A and B are shown apart, each in its own frame.
Chain A
């Protein structure tokens, strides 16, 4: 058992303190070119906390939470046929900043259909609903942090921000990690999408390398010949302290 970096005598073996979040790579709260953020962004500085048990713990999930088709968006809402669109596999690993895989963590994803329409009562875009496509799924990473799912490539869609804004094709991701401070929601984009440099939501991220990290490359080696293309998307969550000054952190 590693006791490294534990945050106190009340804590068990999994209690490591997380690296501080590098807020310079994340979008700030206030990004006026993404208009909805204007009234929804706190104006005061965040209060920085050192991790306590409330931060380093978080919900855990198991295979009993999932259904057998949860990671197959081609089949999980198929009623009288399969959905229209370019068949793709999305796969990759959930890692932390030290490069370790994050095992058994819940990854959820949702997206528009191939025409760019969401199955949501608030989406009124004129592209049609696909009767065989739900648009959401979820899976658990394996012991190495690896995950995969099958879907159709989502279409671009227009949105009301400026009058002619279009979202590049994207898949929304939600990831948990081991502690609640690793919780992350993001979006995966596709290599080569000409809409990427025009999107105010993409450009809310101030750091070009951080944007590039959201763009999944085509991965022909993971494609299934004559069936399905593939894109690779690794997700990095915050790392945790592991070896430094263990005794001091223990307070003994």
Chain B
């Protein structure tokens, strides 16, 4: 017998269940308990950049909207900086910018909606080896060996979706329809081999009452199933 490796094993996931709001959004469950509910303000008052609204529904395999879903949002600020020590520019983030929020769908309609600022482009992974090849070759390799290249990532929101019936939180990303050029070069969108599935990650920009509103529907299953990520 070889030596044991002695790693611990990750704790298994279990569904958030139908009453997830009690724990994570008690106001929505119908009672006030905490002085401060977390995740209600993603960008804070001082964030620079374009103020936007994002709305949509999460749709099940039978075409019905989920009325008990909870989504967490994690994003960079307008300069593409995450407020986290792993981002060496974290100190430049505006005071009060948390970059994280919790959103629940409406109990009657299933519509979710949140306000934030549009994030900037974020640095991608570095090359795993010193670049030996031309940018052209590097781009062609996006599918060949499936290595994400070091090009910057197009502006995006990172989303994490939990609900009753979802056994382990689903990760996905929301990109922006008005960033065509950046989206075309995005190393993650380019990893999606089936080109016609890429639009499932792109929110459509529109306007309502003078405000910018992006529509983003998430399809758990069935036609146009959203691309979910194993991060």
Contacts and interface: CB of A to CB of B under 8 A. Distances in A.
B165 A43 contact: no
Counting chain B residues whose Cβ lies within 8 A of the other chain, the interface size class is 35 or more
A129 B128 CA distance: 57
Nearest to A13: B85
A47 B227 contact: yes
B86 A57 contact: yes
Given A47-B230, A50-B125, A25 B9 contact: yes
Interface residues of A, number: 102
B141 interface: no
Given A14-B86, A42-B221, A209 B9 contact: yes
A228 interface: no
B85 A12 contact: yes
Contact of B130 (A42, A47, A235, A252): A252
Contacts of B228: 42, 44, 46-47
Given A122-B18, A237-B11, A52 B191 contact: no
B88 interface: yes
A56 to B, nearest CB: 5
Question: B-side binding surface: helix, strand, loop or mixed?
Answer: loop
Interface of B: 6-24, 26, 29-31, 33-36, 38, 60-62, 64, 66, 68, 72, 74, 76, 82-90, 98-100, 107, 122-130, 147-148, 150, 153, 156, 158, 160, 162-171, 173, 187-188, 191-192, 220-222, 225-231
15 contacts: A10-B88, A23-B230, A38-B61, A42-B228, A47-B192, A48-B230, A53-B86, A53-B123, A54-B76, A57-B74, A58-B74, A172-B20, A180-B74, A205-B12, A214-B11
